[in-house]
Structure 1
Amino acid sequence: MNLVNSLKGLFFYLFLTIAALFTLIFAFTPAASLIFIHRKFHFRVCSFIIGHFLLVITCLLEDFLNIRVVITGDELTKPNVRSIILLNHRTRLDWMYIWMLQSRFKLLDQLKIALKSEIKRIPIIGWGCYHNGFLFLHRQWKKDQDEMKKTIEYYKSSQTPVSLLIFPEGTNLHNKTKLKSNTYASKQATFNRPYEYCLHPHTTGFTYLLKTMRSNDIIDTVDDITIGYEGEISVTELDLLKGHFPKIIHFHIKRYDVNELPKEDEQVSEWLKKCWDEKENRLEEFYTTYQFDFPSKRFRNHRTETNVQVERRLALLVLIIFIIFWSYCFVAYTLVKLYVLAIVIFQSIVQIIINVDDQRPADHRQD
């Protein structure tokens, strides 16, 4: 069984790489040129492309790797809601698993993610994230502050609803980070207790982000989502390659209207800490009962699940046809070969510029 799962994990990564490469070269790059014509249209086309791509990945996760999803708490069905999504960072793959949740509320098109700046340097994957307006953080406060401001202004100029996923813990949970987090938190005046199931949140980035999105009038809600795993936990990408897949992923949602949150920075910081204290309690109970809420409150709409299944399988079929078509064109036509070569050169130059920009000195690290 481990060998079968390992082969599944290998195929998953191979297909993900191939699909990302074809999407970048034959979809994202042509769409990127639209920014010189119409910024809003460019943003929406790129968001549509990434939404379709992420839907395909959910098909692989659910229908190929057989990962099930359980959702409890508030619904995210109100259309065009602009939000910050808060998620505990249990593994390095949480940001991928949440696509399965977002697909059920048709929010993949508007999902943006705050990622470590190192990901921007990864060929293919990093390029795609960069084209799609993801927020890259260096964990150096001056650079991150400037990056947040610039990205939020870009979102506003696009005139398109955005849901920005952030991880206030800064990194994923394991023994070393847990010890470091509890040690740091114990030195703070507001320290309550050491955490076992999550890390203490960094508040500076969230406080600034919330204030900036408020001032630009591009936020309606803050969605606090707690993720829990049943079965094996794939902590790193290598675990998934080894065939260690979670059996069921649980999501619990608490949606807050942005007007419910305090206005002052210090109070916002305390709100986030209280939110994470509740999350620690929620996770402690979850890993005893393996449910966030009573079964009767779980979303079990058979029609919705069927529709989502059909949509993600259709998206996979379309992408496979897309890959086959452009593979044939690449083999058959010299012009397409030259186009691919030009794109590779162009993206390489962009990557060099990105790396140089990332090496600029910054002032202070984030708390």
Structure 2
Amino acid sequence: MVHGSQLVFFLPLRILPFKWSSRLYNEGICYTKGAFGCLLILMCQWFSPTKLSITFETEGKGRFSPEDIERLVVRNQAGDVVSLNLPTKFVLISNHQIYADWWYAWCLTYFIGPRGVHRYVYITLKKSLKWIPIVGWGMQLYNFIFLARSWASDRVQLASHLSALGKRAEEEDNPLCFMLYPEGTLVSQNTRPISKKFADKIGISDLRNVLLPRSTGLHYSLRSLAPRIPDLKLIDLTVIYPGVPPMGYGQDYYTLRSIFMSGVAPPAIHIYLKMFDVAADIPIGDMSGKPTLVSGAPSEHTAEVDIPQHEKEAFDTWMRELWQEKDERMTRFFDTTSYGSRTAQGPVEIPLRLRRKREFFDAFCFFLPACAGYLSGKIRR
């Protein structure tokens, strides 16, 4: 239904040479993306109920003050949390434990801001997924970023695409969430030795609960978006699933099939949330000069530059320290079954369920393609 709405009602607007048609096309595609976000929530609500349990950092960079937390947690008259009054233009990063990580992260964006950010989520995917029938076509229309996993070409594609997205979001004053998993893959029996080998190569200790992050993609992403969105934020999540033991592999306990086919959902998704101001808190490097376009850049939107080596190293060090903190935080959780410490406040619990009855129909785009097919058949008869 979602993809059918894209094809039948909105894609034809793309070829019309009018400003209003382009605007309606973009709004329509955002609506279908929001419908998909509602569908993710509805799948949890109907088949695999769970909740987000969010704890906030209260010290150091990335912190929230108690006054901030009181202001950003929005409750209804019954006292239930209905939204989080967080900034709506941000890059979201997280550790990667199970295949459903992106699913629950997208669900979180539904609760950010008064109307949610789930209509404005962007992710990167393998280029081979681009032409999968229905799913791949729909993801193309969602304006997702497809990469060939060859950094020589991918960095141009990534920077150009993100620069255009950031520019449009700022000009139209729309939200933007770019979701990225710096580890690149799940923690597993196969990937753990690779992380250990990389740690040995650069002469550092390997981490226990997470993989060593790859900083290059995030660094280029922030440098592409930051000049276009001056108040860009970075939201960092540390995610833990109950029942997964220390040094265990989450995918051995929670798979997409077990969660949504067998109803074996994690009773809660424990999230430790930090937020950084990209310009002030993160060493992305000097962005004051005019960016140097990479050869072959497809448009003037490209912000790709040859980053000086010392700036790469500074960001890489910052990234490893962030992941070291994440690893220590997870170890503390495993020892105490809580994120609770003097630097944390929470948890705030948010059940994964839709807030408005109309969104049950939104999740299927109001069955519009089915209605169109039915009327078409009646007319032909």
TM range (shorter): 0.7 to 0.9
| Change in 2 beyond 3 A, CA 1:32/1:246 | farther
| Change in 2 beyond 3 A, CA 1:200/1:35 | farther
Q: Is the 1:56–1:312 Cα contact (8 Å) retained in structure 2?
A: no
Q: After superposition, what is the alpha-carbon deviation per residue over 1:131-157, rounded to whole angstroms, capped at 9, x for unaligned? A: 122222322101210111221232134
The alignment yields a C-alpha RMSD, in angstroms, of: 3.1
Residue 298, structure 1, aligned to residue 347, structure 2: yes
The Cα of 1:129 is off from its aligned counterpart by 2.0
Q: Matches of 1:334 and 1:268 in 2, distance apart?
A: 59
Residue 69, structure 1, aligned to residue 49, structure 2: no
Q: TM-score, normalised by structure 1?
A: 0.74
Q: Is the 1:27–1:49 Cα contact (8 Å) retained in structure 2?
A: no
Q: How do residues 174-189 of structure 1 correspond to structure 2 at under 5 angstroms?
A: 174-189=188-203
The Cα of 1:162 is off from its aligned counterpart by 1.3
Q: Matches of 2:334 and 2:9 in 1, distance apart?
A: 42
Q: Matches of 1:293 and 1:336 in 2, distance apart?
A: 63
| Change in 2 beyond 3 A, CA 1:41/1:149 | farther
Give the equivalent residue in structure 2 for 1:311.
Answer: 355
Q: Is the 1:68–1:248 Cα contact (8 Å) retained in structure 2?
A: yes
Q: After superposition, what is the alpha-carbon deviation per residue over 1:190-236, rounded to whole angstroms, capped at 9, x for unaligned? A: x1x22231111011111111122223346521111111112475554
Of 343, 363, 366, the match for 1:322? 366
Of 224, 227, 230, the match for 1:215? 227
| Change in 2 beyond 3 A, CA 1:146/1:65 | same
Q: Matches of 2:276 and 2:189 in 1, distance apart?
A: 31
Residue 152, structure 1, aligned to residue 162, structure 2: yes
Q: Is the 1:223–1:253 Cα contact (8 Å) retained in structure 2?
A: yes
Residue 164, structure 1, aligned to residue 213, structure 2: no
Q: Matches of 1:70 and 1:64 in 2, distance apart?
A: 19
Residue 46, structure 1, aligned to residue 29, structure 2: yes
Residue 226, structure 1, aligned to residue 238, structure 2: yes
Q: Is the 1:92–1:236 Cα contact (8 Å) retained in structure 2?
A: yes
| Change in 2 beyond 3 A, CA 1:254/1:269 | same
Give the equivalent residue in structure 1 for 2:136.
Answer: 126
| Change in 2 beyond 3 A, CA 1:59/1:27 | farther
Letter in 1 for 2:211: L
Letter in 1 for 2:281: E
Q: Matches of 2:324 and 2:38 in 1, distance apart?
A: 33
Q: Is the 2:48–2:259 Cα contact (8 Å) retained in structure 1?
A: no
Structure 1, unaligned runs of 5 or more: 1-18, 338-367
Q: After superposition, what is the alpha-carbon deviation per residue over 1:270-312, rounded to whole angstroms, capped at 9, x for unaligned? A: 1111111111111222233333236962224xxxx59x84525
- How many residues matched? 311
The Cα of 1:254 is off from its aligned counterpart by 0.3
| Change in 2 beyond 3 A, CA 1:180/1:165 | same
The Cα of 1:256 is off from its aligned counterpart by 0.6
Give aligned-pair identity as a percent.
Answer: 23
Letter in 1 for 2:155: Q
Q: Matches of 2:175 and 2:140 in 1, distance apart?
A: 18
Give the equivalent residue in structure 2 for 1:201.
Answer: 213
Q: Matches of 1:40 and 1:29 in 2, distance apart?
A: 12
Give the equivalent residue in structure 1 for 2:325.
Answer: 278
The Cα of 1:23 is off from its aligned counterpart by 4.0
Give the equivalent residue in structure 2 for 1:256.
Answer: 276
| Change in 2 beyond 3 A, CA 1:33/1:156 | farther
Q: After superposition, what is the alpha-carbon deviation per residue over 1:44-84, rounded to whole angstroms, capped at 9, x for unaligned? A: 44223312320232122134311222111156745654211
The Cα of 1:317 is off from its aligned counterpart by 3.1
Q: Is the 1:228–1:249 Cα contact (8 Å) retained in structure 2?
A: yes
Give the equivalent residue in structure 1 for 2:291.
Answer: none
Q: Which has the higher helix share?
A: 1
Residue 269, structure 1, aligned to residue 316, structure 2: yes
Of 124, 141, 145, the match for 1:114? 124
Give the equivalent residue in structure 2 for 1:98.
Answer: 105
Q: Is the 2:354–2:360 Cα contact (8 Å) retained in structure 1?
A: no
Greater Cα shift, 176-185 or 37-46? 37-46
Letter in 2 for 1:127: W
Letter in 1 for 2:223: K
Structure 2, unaligned runs of 5 or more: 57-63, 73-83, 245-249, 286-310
